[in-house]
């Protein structure tokens, strides 16, 4: 039997120099960790959804039943819609920056405050 350190080996890096996109690699590191945590919460949420659906159906909530559960088309759509909504929510600031790029008439509240005070 092979005894491999699965946790370490699953994390293996692909050969080749890794590109970093932010000016400071620390930003990338934190983003990566944040997305991993976000992913794990999504996993927990999907598991909770399965538990709720088993309970609703009167099926015993066992580990085996959770693993065997397959959503029907409607349930799958609801779960995928949740993922889409959730990802949209965690990436809010990026979308707001994109929106700001489209809105050319944004003024800063500080400038506005000065303007208001003057008049």
Choose the binding region for another protein from 4-12, 54-62, 107-115 (rule: CB under 8 A): 4-12
Smallest gap from residue 12 Cβ to another protein (A): 4
Task: Indicate whether 26 belongs to the interface with another protein (CB under 8 A).
Answer: no
Q: Please report, for residues 3, 19, 84, 97, the alpha-carbon distance to residue 37 in angstroms, rounded to integers and kept in the order given.
A: 28, 22, 16, 23
Among the listed residues 52, 88, 113, 115, the single contact to another protein using CB under 8 A: 88
87: how many CB neighbours lie within 10 A of its CB?
13
Among the listed residues 57, 92, 97, 107, the single contact to another protein using CB under 8 A: 97
Instruction: Give the closest residue to 12 by CA, choosing from 4, 20, 22, 3.
Output: 4
The C-alpha atoms of residue 31 and residue 35 are separated, in whole angstroms, by 6
Crossing angle of the two packed helices 25-57 and 73-90, in degrees rounded to 10: 150
Contacts with another protein, residue ranges (CB under 8 A): 1-2, 4, 6-7, 9-16, 18-23, 27-28, 31-32, 35-36, 38-39, 42-43, 46-47, 50, 66-67, 69-71, 73, 76-77, 79-81, 83-84, 87-88, 91, 94-95, 97-98, 101-102
């Amino acid at each position: 039997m092979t005894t491999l350190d699965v946790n370490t080996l699953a994390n293996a890096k692909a050969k080749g120099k890794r590109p970093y996109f932010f000016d400071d690699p620390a930003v990338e590191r934190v983003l990566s960790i944040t997305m991993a945590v976000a992913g794990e919460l999504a996993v927990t949420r999907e598991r909770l959804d399965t538990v709720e659906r088993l309970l609703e159906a009167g099926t015993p909530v066992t580990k085996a039943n959770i693993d065997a559960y397959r959503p029907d088309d409607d349930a799958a759509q609801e779960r995928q819609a949740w993922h889409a909504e959730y990802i949209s929510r965690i990436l809010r600031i990026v979308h707001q920056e994109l929106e700001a790029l489209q809105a050319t008439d944004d003024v800063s509240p500080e400038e506005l405050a000065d303007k208001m005070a003057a008049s």
